[in-house]
């Protein structure tokens, strides 16, 4: 006898109330499981770990450091000027709220900032501005000690001109400086000397001795192999009859997001070299017909290529980049001077140092979308043998003077492919003042008296260089 087929349960009958209840419960369970799997990932991507603000006349930078790659959209609004930024995949936390208090009243471009949860997983930042700006918003991948960074750079609509800013800040009159005029009789300490030679050097050193600024004697334990200045001075143009304003570009390394090396006590290279550069600027400006431009005068980051371009825009006669060495072993010590090399480094240490310094753009943070990718190669190709030869003369004169106050790491000027030394038409040197990673030298670098000695030594080296290589007349293009 055939068996009667069993009817399906009510929960499987299409359209039955029981089936709808089961399907609803199953769907709810599935969404709960999926939501539980996605929620932790979303939360991890939304953690703001640090916020930093770097105000400067040239631009203000805001940095949001986080543990994931954030996506942001932005737009400018007028009347009054505002920058509105929406950041996806982010929830408001106390760290991000602290951004409000980090904007100071003296910020050149930001009046204040507002932070709010605009909608679920979207945080809105509104920057109320003091003037219209050209914003750049970009991401930086993890590098050095940093995790992911979201960067807001607020530039003025009209970029700061280095030459105009230098003249305005120091109250100089650009119109009163002739390109070439007859030189009066040289005075002791003059930076521009007509018929240079050993007698000129003797006068400079005698004048320094009378002023009580003779360098301290080298340390007894320090092996000294100091370079000597060139024996034959280069004749000046127009029979040595050239007197004009000499412009020197000083480049304090690192800055802002890029702290440089850090000593055992926590002092940053960027702070030490800025202090030394400011002292040096003051001493150089005491020389006749001399003005000085700092590539940065506060704690903000300047890309390597822009440092070179600033020097060229002010038609600098010299470029001096100031740094403080660091090495994995704290026993390393001594001062060094480097110039550019087109053919490779003169030592493995010089090569290592150049590679390390050339990472500054990665650490400091450059918007690759606006970077001239051909700049570095063009400047390198344009670098001439004459520029490197003049840089060597300047380097030897400065190294000789620094050797009087500190042990020299190397007894000769070294060469390597430093990106910051690639100005094709400006004698350029990089001075490593001392090893900040050496506890003894770190203590000296923090000392006001030693910083003053460093500034004195570099000033005397520059005077020595000009005594043998008077600045020639040149056309005015700025």
The region of weakest confidence among 2-11, 238-247, 250-259, 454-463 is 2-11
Number of other residues whose CB lies within 10 A of the CB of residue 268? 19
Render pLDDT for 221-238 as a digit per residue (tens, 0 to 9).
Answer: 344 444 454 445 444 444
What 3-state DSSP class applies to 475?
A: coil
Order across the sheet with 122-129: list the strands: 71-77, 82-88, 122-129, 110-119
**Domains recognised in the chain with CATH numbers:** 48-156 (2.60.40.3500), 162-468 (3.40.630.40)
Distant-in-sequence, close-in-space partners of 463: CB < 8 Å, separation ≥ 6:
189, 191, 204, 287
Alpha helices in 127-197 (DSSP H): 162-170
Rounded to an integer, the average pLDDT of 157-176 is 65
Render pLDDT for 94-145 as a digit per residue (tens, 0 to 9).
Answer: 999 999 999 999 999 999 999 999 998 999 999 999 999 999 999 999 999 9
Instruction: Report which of 14, 2, 257 is spatially closest to residue 144, judged by C-alpha positions.
Output: 257
Rounded to an integer, the average pLDDT of 173-195 is 34
Residue 166: what pLDDT?
74
Rounded to an integer, the average pLDDT of 349-362 is 79
Residue 432: what pLDDT?
95
Q: Output 358 or 326, whichever has higher pLDDT.
A: 326
| Backbone φ, ψ for residue 473 (5° rounding) | -65, 145
**pLDDT above 60 (res 41):** no
| Banded model confidence at residue 244, pLDDT cuts 50, 70, 90 | confident
Residue 423: what pLDDT?
87
| Banded model confidence at residue 165, pLDDT cuts 50, 70, 90 | confident
Render pLDDT for 365-407 as a digit per residue (tens, 0 to 9).
Answer: 888 766 655 444 444 444 467 889 999 999 999 999 999 999 9
Contact predicate 252/294, CB 8 Å: yes
**pLDDT above 90 (res 82):** yes
Render pLDDT for 434-455 as a digit per residue (tens, 0 to 9).
Answer: 999 999 999 999 999 999 999 9
**pLDDT above 80 (res 17):** no
The Cα-based distances of 234 to 52, 197, 390, 412, 474 in angstroms read 50, 9, 10, 21, 16
Rounded to an integer, the average pLDDT of 147-153 is 95
Provide the β-strand partners of residue 82. 77, 128
Residue 130: what pLDDT?
97
| Backbone φ, ψ for residue 228 (5° rounding) | -105, 150
Residue 216: what pLDDT?
37
Helix 385-402 vs helix 448-468: crossing angle, to nearest 10: 130
User: Strand runs (DSSP E) across 157-276, as ranges?
Assistant: 246-252
Rounded to an integer, the average pLDDT of 314-325 is 95
**pLDDT above 60 (res 163):** yes
**pLDDT above 70 (res 332):** yes
Rounded to an integer, the average pLDDT of 34-53 is 61
Q: What is the Cα–Cα distance from 354 to 417, expressed in whole angstroms?
A: 6
């Amino acid at each position: 006898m055939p068996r009667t087929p069993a009817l399906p349960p009510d929960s499987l009958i299409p359209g039955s109330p029981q089936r709808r209840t089961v399907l609803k419960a199953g769907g709810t369970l599935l969404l709960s499981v999926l939501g539980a799997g996605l929620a932790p990932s979303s939360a991890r991507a939304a953690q703001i770990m640090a916020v930093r603000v770097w105000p400067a006349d040239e631009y203000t930078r805001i940095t949001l450091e986080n543990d994931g790659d954030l996506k942001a959209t932005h737009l400018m609004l007028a009347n009054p000027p505002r920058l509105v930024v929406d950041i996806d995949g982010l929830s408001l936390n106390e760290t991000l709220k602290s951004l409000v208090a980090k904007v100071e009243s003296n910020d050149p471009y930001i009046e204040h900032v507002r932070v709010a949860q605009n909608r679920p997983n979207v945080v809105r930042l509104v920057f109320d501005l003091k003037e219209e700006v050209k914003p750049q918003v970009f991401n930086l991948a993890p590098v050095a000690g940093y995790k992911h960074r979201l960067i807001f750079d607020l530039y003025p609509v009209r970029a700061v001109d280095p030459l105009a800013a230098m003249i305005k800040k120091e109250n100089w009159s650009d119109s009163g400086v002739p390109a070439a005029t007859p030189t009066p009789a040289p005075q002791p300490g003059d930076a521009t000397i007509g018929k240079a030679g050993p007698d000129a050097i003797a006068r400079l050193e005698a004048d320094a001795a009378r002023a009580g600024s003779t360098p301290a004697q080298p340390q007894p334990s320090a092996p000294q192999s100091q370079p000597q200045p060139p024996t034959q001075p280069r004749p000046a143009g127009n029979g040595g009859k050239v007197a004009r304003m000499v412009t020197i570009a000083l480049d304090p390394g690192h800055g802002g997001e890029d702290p440089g090396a850090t000593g055992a006590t926590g002092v940053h290279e960027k702070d030490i070299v800025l202090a030394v550069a400011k002292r040096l600027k003051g001493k150089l400006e005491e020389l006749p017909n001399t003005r000085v431009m700092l590539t940065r005068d506060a704690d903000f980051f300047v890309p390597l290529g822009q440092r070179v371009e600033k020097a060229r825009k002010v038609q600098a006669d010299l470029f001096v980049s100031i740094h403080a060495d660091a090495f994995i072993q704290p026993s390393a010590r001594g001062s060094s001077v480097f110039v550019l090399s087109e053919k490779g480094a003169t030592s493995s240490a010089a090569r290592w140092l150049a590679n390390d310094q050339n990472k500054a753009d990665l650490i400091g943070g450059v918007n690759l979308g606006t970077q001239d990718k051909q700049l570095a190669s063009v400047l390198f190709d344009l670098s001439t043998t004459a520029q490197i030869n003049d840089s060597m003369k300047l380097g030897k004169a400065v190294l000789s003077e620094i050797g009087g106050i500190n042990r020299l790491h190397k007894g000769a000027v070294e060469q390597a492919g430093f990106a910051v030394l690639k100005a094709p038409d400006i004698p350029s040197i990089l001075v490593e003042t001392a090893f900040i990673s050496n506890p003894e030298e770190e203590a000296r670098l923090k000392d006001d008296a030693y910083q003053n000695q460093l500034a004195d030594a570099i000033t005397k080296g520059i005077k020595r260089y000009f005594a043998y290589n008077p600045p020639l007349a040149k056309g005015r293009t700025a």
